[in-house]
Structure 1
Amino acid sequence: MKILSLDTTMAGCSAAIVDTDSALPLAADFAAMERGHAEALPPMVAKVVKTSGLALSEIDRIAVTTGPGTFTGVRIGLAFARGLGLARNIPVVGIDSLAAIAANETQRVHLLVASDARNDEIYAAMFDARHRQLMPPHVTTAAAAAADVPSETLVLGTAAQAVIAGSRRNDLALSLAGDMPVAAHFARLAAIVTPAEMPLPLYLRAPDAKPQASALRKIGLLSIEDMGPAAAELMAELHGEIFEEGWTRLAFTEMLLTPGTDAAIARQSDEPLGLIVTRRAMDEAEIITIGTRPSAQRRGVARQLLAQHMVALTEKGVRHLFLEVAASNAAALRLYVAMGFAEAGRRKGYYRSRGRDEDAIVMRREITP
């Protein structure tokens, strides 16, 4: 069986073509990277396909990691694999990221895979000596991860040293295998899986988890990235977290293909925290939507996003910026007033909320280079 495998879930990007009848991969590539997976993956896949000497029509199935990992990284690999699978009518098989990392280890011993999940937490999964999963991926702490694992277990992953140190046990050993999923190593896992529906992302944290009160401090300088039609699925995912009636991927695709539409996402490291979409006409623009993920609200994300996006709009000749906001949305109104917007009119009964009509306040701000 000839398998194209790929991974973008963590701080690496990898692709490989493996023939399960041979001992070595036909072609493989790996690059360590914190971001830039979306740009790196397509040429990497093209390279391994060319190096393998195979045509895409000769690929029997695609293997892709589904998470846990970074929000953006998980979506990039899945979107690419699903798109290629649909276009070429190739089955797509999902492999969880910790099982993929376990495939790096060649020794037949009990294995605990532990990857850093930030915020003093880790992702962990337990495997027996034949690398069969005994405990699926879950969120825990480094101190608790090794509580019930057998003696002489190897610990592998970016949080492995923290787990061993936190366990206070002397019968655990550090695996020297790679800490990231490697496409050339986990591809064979897909050969024993029966393809079904397209794989879904594996998120181990609820996307709308509420931050603790102590965490409601302002977020530092964010990275603001312009988005085009290729980001429609990511934009729809974010919008669905932020709003009760989230817009679909198709809606975002059509919107982002419309001339004059500009979109951006605010990120902290690899994690997208907020989005904005505006539409330009001559020297005027309107904010179509703006929002912050629930777990990052009240921490200055929207303020940064709007401020930097306004700068980008002025460079495109915009001088007048408009928006609409529900009259009852006090938090948004405070933000817009603080950002220099003033009421320019009202639309009576414009919104329908909880069975009653609500006014929309039209706000305007002059922006200059």
Structure 2
Amino acid sequence: MKILGLDTAMAACSAAVIDTDVAQPFAAAFLAMERGHAEVLPPMVAEVMKTAGLDFSQIDRIAVTTGPGTFTGVRIGLAFARGIGLARGIPVIGINSLSAIAANEPARSPLLVVADARNDEIYAARFDADHKLIVAPHVTTTIAAAVELVAGTVVLGSAAAAVVAASGRDDLTLSSVCHLPVAAQFAALVADMVPGAMPSPLYLRAPDAKPQQTTLRKLTALSIEYVDVSASHILSELHIEAFDEGWSPLAFAELLKTPGTEASVALERGEPLGFMLTRSAVDEAEIVSIGTRPSVQRRGVARQLLERNVVSLAAKGVRYLFLEVAASNIAAQGLYAALGFSEVGRRKGYYKRVSGMEDAIVMRRELGL
């Protein structure tokens, strides 16, 4: 079975192509990095596929880490894997990040995998001597993590040294293997798994960033630039930050090949803060997606993107601009209403949520110069 493995969940970007019938991977790449996964992953995957001498039609499964890890990192890998899986009809199977790290350890001993979660907390999971998960990933402390461990347990991960030191025990073994997920090691884990629905992110706690409570400074001098397929990775990174179900660079590339589709990006001193994707035909257009980075929401980015695109679309002869917005998104509805949109319909059960289905409100604005 040929498997493509992907990881961007923590402080590295990793990709590999393996064949479960062969001992060594066909091709593998690993790069330690704190940021920039969205730019690195697509060319890294292209390179390992080229080195392996395979195309996606020959890949049987995709293995991707689902977290815990950094919020943006987890979503980048998942979005990319989903994009390839949907486009190519390849099953995508998720592996939690701690199980992925456990795959690095060759010793047949009980394992404790621990990763730094910041704020004096760690992510932890326990495995038996056969590396079978016995305690699922959870948030704990360095002191609590070592409680009830059997003698001879091997401890690995970015928080391993801290846990061993805090335990005060001399019967634990500190592993020397890589403390981050390595695609070449964990990809084989999905070989015996039954494919199901597309994997979802595993978040064990809320993001560290908290909403600001003070009045936010409006961003009034943004540069709005129209971009092409070459900016797919930037659009993907922005989409992943803005939405739970982030789109991959491949998904954006395919959308931008569709006639009448345009993408624009809002920048401040060269830094992309938001995006807008539209599709037009004859005298009508729709907003396919619009989003801004969480750190700059409610600061005028979406308004400036909308205003610029309204002018551009009207100049091209578009008379009506449509959009869809979740019925519960009152803030967005208020912005659209302020910009001249009005409700013209409702789509029942349009959005799939964890709690169930949610209606979409269809809004329209008549354009004119």
TM-score after normalising by structure 1: 0.64
In structure 2, the residue matched to 1:66 is 66
Alignment CA distance shift 1:205-1:80 (3 Å): same
How does 1:185-264 map onto structure 2 within 5 Å? 185-207=185-207, 262=266
Q: Structure 1 counterpart of 2:196, which letter?
A: A
Alignment CA distance shift 1:71-1:26 (3 Å): same
Alignment CA distance shift 1:191-1:259 (3 Å): closer
Alignment CA distance shift 1:351-1:207 (3 Å): farther
In structure 2, the residue matched to 1:181 is 181
User: What are the superposed Cα offsets for residues 326-349 of structure 1, whole Å, 9 maximum, x if unpaired?
Assistant: xxxxxx9xxxxxxxxxxxxxx7xx
Structure 1 residue 237 displacement after superposition: 6.5
| Alpha carbons 1:14, 1:30 under 8 Å: kept | yes
Structure 1 residue 170 displacement after superposition: 1.4
In structure 1, the residue matched to 2:120 is 120
Structure 1 residue 304 displacement after superposition: 9.7
| Alpha carbons 1:261, 1:277 under 8 Å: kept | yes
Structure 1 residue 351 displacement after superposition: 11
Q: Does 1:18 align with 2:22?
A: no
Structure 1 residue 183 displacement after superposition: 0.4
In structure 1, the residue matched to 2:46 is 46
How does 1:1-369 map onto structure 2 within 5 Å? 1-207=1-207, 262=266
| Alpha carbons 1:160, 1:174 under 8 Å: kept | yes
Give, in whole Å, the separation in 1 of the partners of 2:246 and 2:156: 40
User: What are the superposed Cα offsets for residues 66-116 of structure 1, whole Å, 9 maximum, x if unpaired?
Assistant: 000001110111011000011110000100000000000001000000000
TM-score after normalising by structure 2: 0.64
Give, in whole Å, the separation in 2 of the partners of 1:101 and 1:248: 26
Q: Structure 1 counterpart of 2:157, which letter?
A: G
Alignment CA distance shift 1:231-1:138 (3 Å): farther
| Alpha carbons 1:263, 1:278 under 8 Å: kept | no
Give, in whole Å, the separation in 2 of the partners of 1:229 and 1:47: 18
Alignment CA distance shift 1:278-1:91 (3 Å): closer
Structure 1 regions of 5+ residues with no counterpart?
Answer: 217-223, 268-274, 280-287, 294-300, 314-331, 333-346, 353-369
Structure 1 residue 234 displacement after superposition: 6.2
Structure 1 residue 154 displacement after superposition: 0.6
Q: Structure 2 counterpart of 1:165, which letter?
A: A
Alignment CA distance shift 1:139-1:24 (3 Å): same
Count how many residue pairs are aligned between Structure 1 and Structure 2. 281
Q: Structure 1 counterpart of 2:266, which letter?
A: D
The Cα RMSD (Å) is 4.3
Q: Structure 1 counterpart of 2:94, which letter?
A: G
| Alpha carbons 1:276, 1:305 under 8 Å: kept | no
Give, in whole Å, the separation in 2 of the partners of 1:247 and 1:302: 17
User: What are the superposed Cα offsets for residues 146-188 of structure 1, whole Å, 9 maximum, x if unpaired?
Assistant: 1111111010000001101111111111011110100000011
Give, in whole Å, the separation in 2 of the partners of 1:55 and 1:238: 29
Give, in whole Å, the separation in 1 of the partners of 2:161 and 2:247: 42
Structure 1 runs of 4+ aligned residues shifted over 4 Å read 207-211, 226-241, 246-250, 257-261, 275-279, 288-293, 301-306
Give, in whole Å, the separation in 1 of the partners of 2:197 and 2:297: 37
Q: Structure 2 counterpart of 1:36, which letter?
A: G
